[in-house]
Chain A
Amino acid sequence: MSDVADRVRKIVVEHLGVEEDKVVESASFIDDLGADSLDTVELVMAFEEEFGIEIPDDAAETIQTFGDAVKFIKEAQ
């Protein structure tokens, strides 16, 4: 498990209050982890701060799953 994935998982668990083992690569924030649209905005904000990156709005919309987030952040770093 990569460091990025661990850090992203920690943010997701803390923010959405879900069990760690539910945060798998294919887990959709909205459909599987109970996030609403505002939660997804806040998650992106948290990712930006944790990793010191900028995630533009059009890119943020493509981040639907935990795997999407990890992949995007790794590429952005």
Chain B
Amino acid sequence: MFDLTGKNALVTGASGGIGGEIARTLHAAGATVGLSGTREAPLEALAADLGERAHVLPCNLSDAAAVDALPKQAAETMGSVDILVNNAGITRDQLFMRMSDDEWADVINVNLTSTMRLCKGVIRGMMKARWGRIVNISSIVGATGNAGQANYAASKAGMVGMSKSIAAEVASRGITVNCVAPGFIATAMTDKLTDDQKAKIDQQIPAGRMGTPEEIAAAALYLASEQAGYVTGTTLHVNGGMAML
């Protein structure tokens, strides 16, 4: 249903479980994908797996100069950036009372500030093209909060407010800016949990299970599609009913 043939998509955090799946899904829909992430080896492996229309664009998102350079590199490599998926993110979980300034700043910097920089870097080309899709991967905790994640929740909630503001500014130019807010998603990170821990998590989810990266990627694909052109400034919650927002 969703055809992205001829579109060029930059996906950050493509070395991770969710980002990799988003890249695969956009690629399968016909897009050329720029795979960005800090770890080059998994990006190369993914690019080799995808074959044509896949480019590796390593970038350390805690390095402001590298972040500013990434949209230019992506546009030079692919010809343009029509779709930007800001998926990269880090956690530095800590009780708020013990949270250091560095733990706060690192998370805000990588998750929120780098997203802002990348949005700024791609939007000029999108304005000229009168077409663009920005999909920012937020999180359920940006809406609900979570003990131990004041920094992460702030960064993910900040992403939502920023996306709405940018959406309002550029809607008249055919550019949409939306968020996807995943709940608990089964990735390499959650594989480390014990069966007991997983069972407890599943009990909190009306759907009775964790989500899959494919289910997040499907949401990102929709928001990146031509068909979602009238959807902007929204957050699509994909959480099995864990929070009904």
B78–chain A nearest beta-carbon distance, Å = 20
Contacting pair A45 B124 (CB below 8 A): yes
Contacts of B170 in A (CB 8 A): 38
Contacts of A61 in B (CB 8 A): none
Query: What 0/1 readout, one digit per residue, does chain A (25-56) give for beta carbons within 8 Å of chain B?
Result: 00000000000001000100100000000000
Contacts of B169 in A (CB 8 A): 38
B64–chain A nearest beta-carbon distance, Å = 17
Contacting pair B128 A38 (CB below 8 A): no
Contacting pair B173 A38 (CB below 8 A): yes
Contacts of A45 in B (CB 8 A): 124, 127-128
A66 to B127, alpha carbons, bound, how many Å? 22
Binding site secondary structure of chain B: helix
What interface size band does chain B fall in?
under 10
Binding site secondary structure of chain A: helix
A11–chain B nearest beta-carbon distance, Å = 13
A38 to B128, alpha carbons, bound, how many Å? 12
Contacts of B172 in A (CB 8 A): 38
A16–chain B nearest beta-carbon distance, Å = 14
A50 to B127, alpha carbons, bound, how many Å? 16
A38 to B124, alpha carbons, bound, how many Å? 11
Residues of B within 8 A of A (CB): 124, 127-128, 169-170, 172-173
Name 4 extra pairs, CB < 8 A, besides A38-B170, A38-B173, A42-B127: A38-B169, A38-B172, A45-B127, A45-B128
